[in-house]
Amino acid sequence: MTIAGIKTLSVIVPVYFNAESLWELYERLSAVETKIAARNMRMELIFIDDGSRDNSFEILLAIKHLRPQTKIIRLTRNFGEIAATSTGFIYATGDCVLVLAADLQNPPEQIPAMLDAWEEGYNIVFSYRRSREDPFFTHLWAAFYYRLVHVLVVEGYPKGGTDSIFFDKSLLPYVRALGRGVNYSLYLFSLGFKAKLIPYDRQERRHGKSRWTFKKKFFYCLDTLLGFSATPLRLVSAIGLITLIASLIYGMEVIFYAVHKGVEVPGFATLAVLISFSTGIIVMMLSMIGEYIWRIFELVSNHPKSIISEILLDEDMPEIRNLPVYGEASK
């Protein structure tokens, strides 16, 4: 939204158990806001509380008292980062939009560089990880996941992945229309719009404990592969075809020995292994088909991506109720 020649940047921040980092995030965003104000831009700050059970929401209320124009959307429970961010897309009104993580592992100070790229004519700007200060198994899983994404889903996607995604308001209708669980980052990358990649070094998490568990990572991987590409289905079809051909060859060999040699082919153990293997392949294929059918069901049933319990927009001010002192959460 442009006001009297002043353009607006909408910053969407999904929040889940981030009480310890929110004050520092606010300080650093305030410093960035001062910088972009000098270039005739304003910041629309939108926090989405994704069902946090710490005092994240109370911290957000305190931030809103300091900065009344801040928007706060509170969800009834934890719906996941993608659903929370999708909720933020609904309330974004800026000329450009940025999705920013609340854990401070990717620096808000990159925002001016993203704005430079946008003003140069890039529709999308991806802040991708050049390096990361994470545990070994996190490194290992990330390398495996992004390799799968590169091979099976979107060729050319950054190997280190992205956290901060910046795009023009003209793309908002596309991301708002996405189905449940669809990775908006991969979707934007695949659209073919003019995009720029800006590297950053992912910092070690200094505040709180990550809630990004292996279980969530695994299902996120499934959602990415099965919800965005038909390649896994084609792969299991190819495996099924190869298994069928191998079974036919083996069956013809059995018939040949029985007819021309008049003897049974010894190999009960081999036959048992083949039957077990084929049964496993069939079950795996049915499971994968079921995953695709479930995603179709989610789309046609039109279930909401998230449920909102509270909305505090520009003109709304919450009641004062033992709000935390500025900076208290970071002590």
The closest of 316, 305, 314, 299 to 85, measured between CA atoms, is 305
pLDDT digits (tens, 9 = 90+) for 225-264: 776 777 777 777 777 777 777 777 777 776 776 677 665 5
- For domain 7-217+305-330, is the CATH number 3.90.550.10? yes
Structure confidence at residue 329 (pLDDT):
46
Mean per-residue pLDDT of the chain: 80
Angle at 321 between CA 315 and CA 326, to 5 degrees: 80
Domain ranges in the chain are 7-217+305-330, 231-301
Radius of gyration (C-alpha) of the chain in whole angstroms: 25
Each residue of 106-123: pLDDT tens digit? 889 999 999 999 999 999
Neighbours of 101 (CB within 10 A): 17
pTM, full prediction: 0.76
DSSP collapsed to 3 states, the chain: CCECCEEEEEEEEEECCCHHHHHHHHHHHHHHHHHHHCCCEEEEEEEEECCCCCCHHHHHHHHHHHCCCCEEEEECCCCCHHHHHHHHHHHCCCCEEEECCCCCCCCHHHHHHHHHHHHCCCCEEEEEEEEECCCHHHHHHHHHHHHHHHHHHCCCCCCCCEEEEEEEHHHHHHHHCCCCCCCHHHHHHHCCCCEEEEEEEECCCCCCCCCCCHHHHHHHHHHHHHHHCCHHHHHHHHHHHHHHHHHHHHHHHHHHHHHHHCCCCCCHHHHHHHHHHHHHHHHHHHHHHHHHHHHHHHHHHCCCCCCEEEEECCCCCCCCCCCCCCCHHHC
Question: What mean pLDDT comes out for the span 308-331?
Answer: 66
**pLDDT reported for residue 263:** 58
pLDDT in tens, 116-153: 999 999 999 988 777 666 666 666 777 777 777 777 77
